[in-house]
Amino acid sequence: MDPEMQKILEIGGRAAADIDKAMHTHPMEDKVTHQDVLLMVQAALQMAQRDAKLEVSEKNLIARMVKIGRVNPQELSEIKDMSHEDIGLMIDRLSGKKARKAFLLTLVAVAMADEELEASEKQMIESLTEKLGVGHIDLSKHNFLEVEDLVMKFVASAAVSR
């Protein structure tokens, strides 16, 4: 092998080893990203329309997510265009475990926003809980304001890291 090529490979090997070591020493933080927030808003819109009526409390929740998450008008328009995408497929596009938790909490918050937990909403939450793999939420032990507060914290953390 050419000595120059050998030198390049040795340097490259050390660089790859250094990168691998850095990744294991300082793993990337699991955080909610702006893209996750867009998926959360999209899922919230779908959940809100699940019972065929969009309540004021649901609109307000989604509006707060959009504002705090710094979702721009173009992104919101794209979300509305994709509002019929299967929520189950959105899960695959979430960035990590924290994003999956935030996604589930978003659906729970929307379901609780109108103070009427419909059977279809409850069924959807139970089905997605298993797919998300982040643990079960006992809906009877939480109220809307608690869940909404958690969702907003996740959304705000994504806006800060943007």
65-95, pLDDT tens digit by residue? 999 999 999 999 998 877 778 888 899 999 9
For the ranges 5-9, 49-53, 93-97, 134-138, the lowest mean pLDDT is seen at 5-9
Report the distance separating Cα 107 and Cα 92, nearest Å.
Answer: 16
CATH number listed for the domain at residues 34-160: 1.10.3680.10
pTM of the model: 0.78
Report the distance separating Cα 94 and Cα 103, nearest Å.
Answer: 8
Between 30 and 143, the more confident residue is: 143
Average confidence score pLDDT of the chain: 82
Report the distance separating Cα 118 and Cα 58, nearest Å.
Answer: 14
What is the model's pLDDT at position 114?
A: 85
Sequence-distant (≥ 6) Cβ neighbours of residue 45 within 8 angstroms: 62, 79, 80, 83
The pair of structure tokens assigned to 91 is: 């899960």
Average pLDDT over residues 6-14: 56
Task: Extract long-range pairs of 47-54: CB within 8 Å, 24+ residues apart.
Answer: 47/87, 47/106, 47/107, 47/110, 47/111, 47/121, 47/124, 48/110, 48/113, 49/83, 50/118, 50/120, 50/121, 50/124, 51/114, 51/116, 51/118, 51/120, 51/121
- Domain boundaries of the chain, sorted by first residue: 1-29, 34-160
| Residue 24 in this model has a pLDDT that exceeds 70 | no
pLDDT per residue as tens digits for the range 88-139: 889 999 999 999 999 999 999 999 998 878 888 888 888 899 899 988 888 8
